[in-house]
């Protein structure tokens, strides 16, 4: 009877469905990128990390070298503490590397851009970045812009 | 005027009576599920007629929906200079909403109506009665395998719909309209959360699968055993399933997102 | 344990209604073992309903139905299923499962209820097919069968588990003379060869009378006559006379209840 054919086709159908689910999980979502244990962790404190998310990219010279692994708030210093996990292959970052939060495109995501300093010693697990620049918050930018006009007016008078 | 109210009241009672019958039937169907493991060939046969045969319409529709999303999405996003986010837009729309809902609607129309017609016809030609007289429970033999098959097929079909939709969006966005390939995928991967978006979409499609198959199987079993009765039951399956899908979608989305 | 001289089916004081229409009103019936009993009456008297009551598909309003000493109306679901395995039923249009061929249809109850090997099943099915004369048709699909052939296959399926009784729901309806002859012969021969008890529901007087040992005549929810064919033909009952002789008018009137004819004609002109 053709039961055997039917069973084969049904098996293919289920395999196709599972493959679709797998494809969605792997290629269309953030599932596979989160590598918990590889790489080394460093921290950086910022005044403002608006828009930065866990798993946001950490780049240097435009190349992604790590990810944001945790964001917490330090209630004594009133700063945001960002933990960054850098892939093991990039061990030569100098200790005075600076971190800034940038935006990728107009509606794009926030990411952390690192710039190398000149220190001889390299960053190790648990080190802290000293030079940081916070993310740009649009409202603050606009108010600064408006303020500059007001000042200009005052000067002209 | 009074007639109208009376009619409304009667319709209300009818509705609850049908809901009650449907729930009792649902209980019987579920009672037969454990024995399905031993009778898996029956389920496989139904998986073929319910799942595999719906595959073509799901693939074609998924592709077109994905392509339209790519096209429309691009047109909208390009005004904001945000065409890089096309991947995000296409994938989230599909995975959380369009995939489960549209695939379920298509399933209700194609497989649901076929199930109702088949079972209704079996009732009209006394095949179900004959089974009863042969001491075989028609619910376990006929309804439960079909229910099981629908329940398994629906999430798979929804996933296939979403996956091919994303590829369709890629086809239009990247190949035709020039969106950056890397941006399409990487933005998508950064923004689509596996647990919040994809798993919720899967849960939705499972719920839809249960509801659509339940309605289809009930309407067939409950149909008046004449040709007119069966055709009306088939229509009711499609209409009620569609309304249920859209209504449940709203409720589920409100709960989950 | 079971008294073999007692009737196989004993119906006492059976009442059943559909809506507000009384289908059976306290009827009594005995179906003797090993005999062919026909239940006849005008259309709509609920003859099929009676078979369903005996098979336990529906429950009566009042009364008892004993099959082989077991009270059908009190049975639990599983006990009822056990009893049904010993009953064979032939539906009016055969009711074959349309998604399987003739062989699988007959094998269906065997596969569902026993663990016999496929070889044994093949033997059994072939034997049943031989009895009804359709051994060569084993691979046909139900849609390829004529009405008469479909009924014969359904018969083979009904005796697949060697039941103790057979119920036939209008087996002769709409058959050509040859198929009719085949079915008539099969019902009688099966009954005698397999030691069955057969209940035939029909309104085909000629055919049913020719093979029945006992006939019950139903009308208006009551048994109006019973006995063998000769008894009924000679009976004084008007019902029996009208039915057995096929008279168009009598206790079952020709005219559907309507107002007076003359009045109807006159008022038809006045209402314009």
ipTM value for the complex: 0.79
**Sheet containing C21-31: which strands, arranged edge to edge?**
C21-31, C9-18, C62-67, C70-71
Contacts of A17 in chain B (CB under 8 A): 153, 155-157, 159-160
Which is higher by pLDDT, B148 or A33?
A: B148
- Asked if A87 and A40 sit in the same domain, the reply is yes
Domain count for chain A, please give it. Answer: 2
Task: Residue C187: name the closest of C216, C152, C214, C218 by CA.
Answer: C152
- Asked if A86 and A106 sit in the same domain, the reply is yes
pLDDT tier at A110 (50, 70, 90 boundaries)?
A: confident
CB-nearest partner of C95 from B127, B137, B141: B127
Range of the domain at B39: 20-256
Task: Residue B149: name the closest of B217, B230, B248 by CA.
Answer: B217
- Asked if A49 and A113 sit in the same domain, the reply is yes
Q: What is the pTM of this model?
A: 0.78
B137 lies within 8 A of chain C by CB: yes
Instruction: Output the six-digit token pair for B151.
Output: 């329940």
- Asked if A1 and A60 sit in the same domain, the reply is no
**Sheet containing C214-219: which strands, arranged edge to edge?**
C87-90, C165-169, C197-202, C36-40, C214-219, C222-227
Q: Are C226 and C215 in contact (CB under 8 A)?
A: yes
Interface test with C, best of B124, B130, B146 (most C CBs within 10 A): B130
Who's near C22: CB < 8 A, 6+ residues apart?
A: C15, C16, C221
| pLDDT above 70 for C234 | yes
- As a whole number, the mean pLDDT across chain C is 84
Residue B201 located in a structural domain: yes
Q: What is the pLDDT of residues C107-146, one digit of tens each?
A: 999 998 888 999 999 999 999 999 888 888 889 999 998 8
Who's near C36: CB < 8 A, 6+ residues apart?
A: C187, C188, C191, C198, C200, C211, C212, C213, C214
Q: Do A14 and B156 touch (CB under 8 A)?
A: yes
| pLDDT above 70 for C216 | yes
Residue B1 located in a structural domain: no
Residue B5 located in a structural domain: no
pLDDT at C1: 47
Which is higher by pLDDT, C210 or B111?
A: B111
Residue C16 in 3-state DSSP? Answer: strand
Q: Are B241 and B211 in contact (CB under 8 A)?
A: yes
Q: What is the pLDDT of residues C186-199, one digit of tens each?
A: 898 888 888 889 99
Helix-strand-coil split of chain A, %, nearest 5: 30, 30, 40
Task: Residue B197: name the closest of B245, B246, B159 by CA.
Answer: B159
C141 lies within 8 A of chain B by CB: no
Domain count for chain B, please give it. Answer: 1
- Asked if A122 and A47 sit in the same domain, the reply is yes
Who's near C118: CB < 8 A, 6+ residues apart?
A: none
Task: Residue C217: name the closest of C236, C230, C203 by CA.
Answer: C203
- Asked if A12 and A75 sit in the same domain, the reply is no
- Asked if A12 and A50 sit in the same domain, the reply is no
Q: How distant is the Cα of B128 from the closest Cα of chain C, in angstroms?
A: 8
Interface test with A, best of B39, B42, B45, B48 (most A CBs within 10 A): B48
Percentage above 70 pLDDT, chain A: 85
Distance CA B69, CA B169 (A): 6
Residue A156 located in a structural domain: no
Kindly state the average pLDDT of the residues B113-125.
Answer: 93
If you count DSSP H runs as helices and E runs as strands, how many of each does chain B have, helices first? 13, 0
Residue A65 located in a structural domain: yes
pLDDT at C272: 46
- As a whole number, the mean pLDDT across chain B is 90
Instruction: Output the six-digit token pair for A112.
Output: 């952390």
Residue B3 located in a structural domain: no
Task: Residue A93: name the closest of A102, A84, A101 by CA.
Answer: A84
Q: What is the pLDDT of residues B169-222, one digit of tens each?
A: 999 988 888 887 777 887 787 777 777 788 899 999 999 999 999 999 999 999
> How far are the Cα atoms of A78, A137, B108, C48 from residue C252, in angstroms, in the given order?
101, 95, 50, 20
Range of the domain at A26: 1-35
Q: Do C95 and B125 touch (CB under 8 A)?
A: yes
| pLDDT above 50 for A137 | yes
Q: Are A57 and A64 in contact (CB under 8 A)?
A: yes
Distance CA A129, CA A83 (A): 10
Distance CA B189, CA B90 (A): 12
Residue B175 located in a structural domain: yes
**Sheet containing A110-115: which strands, arranged edge to edge?**
A128-129, A40-46, A79-86, A63-74, A57-60, A110-115, A98-103, A131-133
- Asked if A22 and A65 sit in the same domain, the reply is no
Residue B25 located in a structural domain: yes
For residue B187, give the H/E element and its range.
helix B181-191
Task: Please report the sign of the dihedral spanned by the C-alpha atoms of residue B100, residue B106, residue B110, residue B116.
Answer: positive
Neighbouring chains to C with at least 3 Cβ pairs closer than 8 Å:
B
Distance CA A19, CA A124 (A): 40
Residue A154 located in a structural domain: no
- Asked if A74 and A135 sit in the same domain, the reply is yes
pLDDT tier at A33 (50, 70, 90 boundaries)?
A: low
- Asked if A6 and A50 sit in the same domain, the reply is no
Residue B6 located in a structural domain: no
């Amino acid at each position: 009877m053709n039961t055997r054919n039917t069973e084969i086709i049904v098996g293919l159908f289920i395999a196709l469905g599972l493959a679709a689910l797998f494809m969605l999980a792997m290629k269309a979502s953030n599932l596979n990128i989160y590598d918990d244990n590889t790489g080394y962790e460093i921290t950086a404190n910022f005044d403002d990390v608006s828009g930065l998310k866990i798993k946001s990219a950490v780049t240097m010279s435009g190349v992604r070298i790590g990810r944001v692994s945790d964001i917490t708030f330090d209630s004594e210093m009133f700063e945001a503490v960002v933990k960054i996990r850098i892939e093991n292959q990039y061990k030569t970052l100098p200790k005075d590397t600076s971190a800034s939060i940038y935006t990728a495109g107009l509606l794009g995501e926030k990411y952390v851009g690192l710039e190398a300093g000149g220190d001889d010693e390299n960053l190790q697990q648990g080190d802290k970045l000293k030079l940081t620049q916070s993310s740009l918050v649009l409202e603050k930018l606009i108010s600064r812009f408006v303020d500059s006009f007001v000042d200009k007016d005052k000067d002209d008078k | 005027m009074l007639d109208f109210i009376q009619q409304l009241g009667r319709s209300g009672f009818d509705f609850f009576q049908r809901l009650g019958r449907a729930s009792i039937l649902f209980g019987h169907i579920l009672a037969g599920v454990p024995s399905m493991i031993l009778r898996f060939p029956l389920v496989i046969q139904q998986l073929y007629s319910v799942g595999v045969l719906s595959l073509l319409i799901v693939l074609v529709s998924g592709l077109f929906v994905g392509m339209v999303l790519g096209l429309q999405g691009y047109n909208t996003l390009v005004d904001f200079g945000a065409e890089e986010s096309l991947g995000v837009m296409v994938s989230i729309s599909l995975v959380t909403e369009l995939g489960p809902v549209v695939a379920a609607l298509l399933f209700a129309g194609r497989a649901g109506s076929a199930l109702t017609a088949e079972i209704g016809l079996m009732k009209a030609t006394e095949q179900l009665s004959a089974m009863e007289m042969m001491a075989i429970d028609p619910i376990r033999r006929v309804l439960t395998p079909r229910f099981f098959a629908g329940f398994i097929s629906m999430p798979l079909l929804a996933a296939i719909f979403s996956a091919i939709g994303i590829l369709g969006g890629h086809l239009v966005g990247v190949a035709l309209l020039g969106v950056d390939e890397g941006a399409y995928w990487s933005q998508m991967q950064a923004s689509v959360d596996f647990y919040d978006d994809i798993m919720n979409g899967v849960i939705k499609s499972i719920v839809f699968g249960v509801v659509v198959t339940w309605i289809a199987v009930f309407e067939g079993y409950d149909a008046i055993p004449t040709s007119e009765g069966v055709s009306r039951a088939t229509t009711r399956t499609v209409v009620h399933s569609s309304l249920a899908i859209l209504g449940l979608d709203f409720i589920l989305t409100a709960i989950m997102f | 344990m079971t008294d073999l001289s007692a009737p196989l089916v004993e119906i006492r004081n059976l009442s059943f209604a559909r809506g507000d229409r009384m289908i059976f009103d306290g009827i009594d019936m005995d179906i003797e073992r090993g005999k062919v009993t026909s239940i006849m009456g005008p259309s709509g008297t609920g003859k099929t309903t009676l078979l369903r009551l005996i098979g336990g598909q529906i429950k009566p309003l009042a009364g008892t139905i004993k099959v082989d000493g077991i009270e059908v109306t009190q049975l639990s679901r599983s006990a009822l299923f056990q009893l049904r395995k010993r009953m064979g039923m032939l539906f009016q249009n055969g009711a074959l499962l349309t998604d399987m061929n003739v062989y699988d249809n007959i094998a269906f109850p065997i596969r569902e209820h026993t663990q016999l090997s496929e070889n044994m099943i093949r033997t059994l099915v072939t034997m049943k097919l031989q009895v009804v004369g359709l051994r060569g048709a084993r691979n046909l699909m139900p849609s390829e069968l004529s009405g008469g052939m479909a009924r014969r296959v359904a018969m083979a399926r009904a005796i697949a588990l060697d039941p103790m009784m057979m119920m036939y729901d209008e087996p002769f309806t709409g058959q050509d003379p040859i198929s009719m002859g085949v079915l008539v012969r099969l019902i009688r021969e099966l009954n005698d060869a397999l030691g069955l008890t057969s209940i035939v529901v029909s309104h085909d007087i000629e055919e049913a009378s020719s093979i029945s040992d006992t006939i019950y005549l139903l009308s208006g929810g009551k048994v109006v006559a019973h006995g063998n064919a000769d008894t009924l033909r000679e009976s004084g009952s008007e019902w029996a006379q009208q039915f057995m002789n096929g008279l168009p008018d009598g206790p079952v009137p020709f005219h559907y209840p309507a107002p007076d004819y003359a009045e109807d004609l006159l008022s038809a002109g006045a209402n314009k």
